[in-house]
Amino acid sequence: MPIDMKDIVSLCKRRGFIFPASDIYGGLNGFWDYGPLGTELKNNLRDRWWKDMVTTPPIGPDGAPVQIVGLDSSIIQNPKTWVASGHVGGFSDPMVDCKETKKRYRQDHLVVLTAEKADRWPAFHEETEDDEILKRLKKLGMPSDLSLFEKTNLTKLPIEDYAKIIGPDVKEPGTLTEPKEFNLMFETYTGAIQSEDSKAYLRPETAQGIFLNFKNVLDSSRVKVPFGIAQIGKAFRNEVTPRNFIFRSREFEQMEMEWFCHGGEAKMWQDFWLEERANFWKAVGLSDGNIIIRGHDADELAHYAKEGLGTSDIEYKFPFTDPGYGELEGIAHRCDFDLKAHEEHSGQKLAYLDPSRDNERYIPHVIEPAAGLTRGVLALICEAYTVDENRPSGVYLNFTPAMAPKKAAILPLIGKDEHVPIATKLYLELREEFPVDLDIKQNIGKRYARQDEIGTPYCFTIDNDTIADGTVTVRERNTMAQERISLDKVAEYLREKMKV
RNA sequence: GCGGGCGUAGUUCAAUGGUAGAACACUAGCCUUCCAAGCUAGUUAUGCCGGUUCGAUCCCGGUCGCCCGCUCCA
């Protein structure tokens, strides 16, 4: 039975994983807030990534651990950053829409045949051949004589003239909308006075902050190429169409690592990181069958990856993409595009002097595993969501113990007996090490059901036997099976399970 | 951005041009020695703005949000 996203969205809200942002004002398209449990879940995924990248990075192909250092750069950088990176300019072209055909044109790609006396001015794509223009003039019942008209680029015409313009694919004038700016970057202003000079941008990717600090890290951290710089943080894109819950939102969180290496070794490192990253997603609980690795076709490559080895995605089969897949992480070969661009625009030397290669001086190539943290959270939730009509809750979240927001619940079997003090003591002890819940109210079945719904893997129940022989019941979420273990072994038991 | 659908409690759903109901959740109490989310009670809703009307949750317009398709997606 296919999972309905509606059920997941409502569970997320009902249990405090994810809320619509500014909910009491009716929400805001493309923004979401993480509730108490969603925050724990996101932090768990984030911390695991940081550990795998920075604290205990993998063993490299040569048998030695690779070197990766962390960074936390500013969300707002000098706006020249985004000129150099290609984000300003590339996607800020004004577009006009045709109200009739719903087609969209770049304003500067259209030329208009203007004439003082005419009240209908046909527009054409700038590359349209003259003989085709003549044909169309005939169809429109206009004199087929180009000398009567002047070719004017649409950008040169005032908006008042648009009423006279006949769009490239229609017969009547007045269907073109006024030009709209189409920039995916959020704009803001630094300082209290707003002007063009103080315009700045919220970063559309965390990567550039890493490139900006390449030299600083190199000069301060005793790293040698090949090495990596890792960063986790918010990024912002004014998506045309935010869709699919938190999958495409306008504010999201990335986990990016830029791996700097010699151009000749780029292929080896891209293969290496692709495998490492796929293993990561499996380790946090995504099943083999729901993950796919897909190479980008040439025509979908980003501007920075046009040359070189291209990009491979790690994709997940979300309920809303099924039977297809949605991107979770891209492992791109960014070549030396970014450092070179920043060298040109900043005038700073960013080449690396490599003593291990006879002091060869070169701009390192970059392999970039760039993952969506918030997309990862969604994948974890979708993967964990399990319908089970044989249990009171009807559904449970099958998180791995390591990812689960709550690792265990401590439940006194009877709420007002001497079970409560023992449970409280255990709770106080366990919470030093793990996020755990103490739940006293209502009968035991309700409490198990509640924990199932938020994906708590273990419940420890204190009963009369605990008083008699110092044992507690462990109830396992997926199987609902119970076993008894010694009260003083509970912490160790949990510690053991967290490793899985 | 376009087209279509939908907005009633925390969630899932009822109903009505004139007092808005239920289930579950939540809170309190009871009961309970392990799935009994059992019993009792209680809190909580017509997205927002405007129009028509004596009266609008219902009809109309706008707006915001969600879903589906297209478009877009550095």
The model's pLDDT over A249-272, given as tens digits with 9 standing for 90+, comes to: 999 999 999 999 999 999 999 999
Using the predicted structure, report yes or no on whether residue A79 has a pLDDT greater than 60. Answer: yes
pLDDT confidence tier of residue A309, bands split at 50, 70 and 90: confident
Residue A320, CB, strand B, below 7 Å: yes
Measured to protein CB atoms, the chain B nucleotides within 7 Å are 1-2, 7, 10-13, 25-38, 47-48, 64-74
A87 touches strand B (CB under 7 A): yes
Q: Is A400's CB less than 7 Å from nucleic acid strand B?
A: no
pLDDT digit string, tens, across residues A168-212: 877 778 777 777 666 788 889 998 888 888 999 999 999 999 999
Contact A388, A282 (CB under 8 A): no
CA of A459 to C1' of B31 (A): 22
pLDDT at residue number A387: 92
**Helix, strand, coil tally for chain A in percent (to 5):** 35, 25, 35
Residue A90 clears pLDDT 70, i.e. is over it: no
- Flag the least confident range among A87-91, A144-148, A453-457: A87-91
User: Is A356:A62 a contact under the CB 8 Å cutoff?
Assistant: no
CB A242 under 7 Å to nucleic chain B: yes
Query: φ and ψ at A95, to 5 degrees?
Result: -120, 150
Contacts of A64 (CB under 8 A, 6+ apart): none
Six-digit token string for A336: 């030396």
Distance A33 CA to B28 C1' (A): 31
What is residue A360's three-state secondary structure?
strand
**Predicted TM-score of the model (pTM):** 0.88
Max avg pLDDT among A46-55, A145-154, A175-184: A46-55
Q: Note the pLDDT of residue A182.
A: 65
% of chain A exceeding 90 in pLDDT: 67
Measure, in angstroms, how far nucleotide B55 C1' is from residue A25 CA.
28
pLDDT (0 to 100) of residue A181:
64
Q: Where are the alpha helices (DSSP H) in A177-239?
A: 207-212, 214-220
Instruction: Report the share of chain A in percent with pLDDT over 70.
Output: 95
Closest CA to A334 of A273, A386, A258: A258
What is the rounded CA–CA span in Å between residue A241 and residue A250? 9
User: What are the distances in angstroms from CA A249 to CA A24, A125, A234, A252, A344?
Assistant: 19, 33, 11, 6, 33
Tens of pLDDT, residue by residue over A63-73, are: 999 999 999 99
Non-local CB neighbours of A104 within 8 Å, separated by 6+ positions:
A95, A96, A97, A98
**pLDDT for position A305:** 67
Q: List Cα–Cα distances, A270 to A52, A124, A178, A317, A400, in angstroms.
A: 17, 44, 45, 23, 28
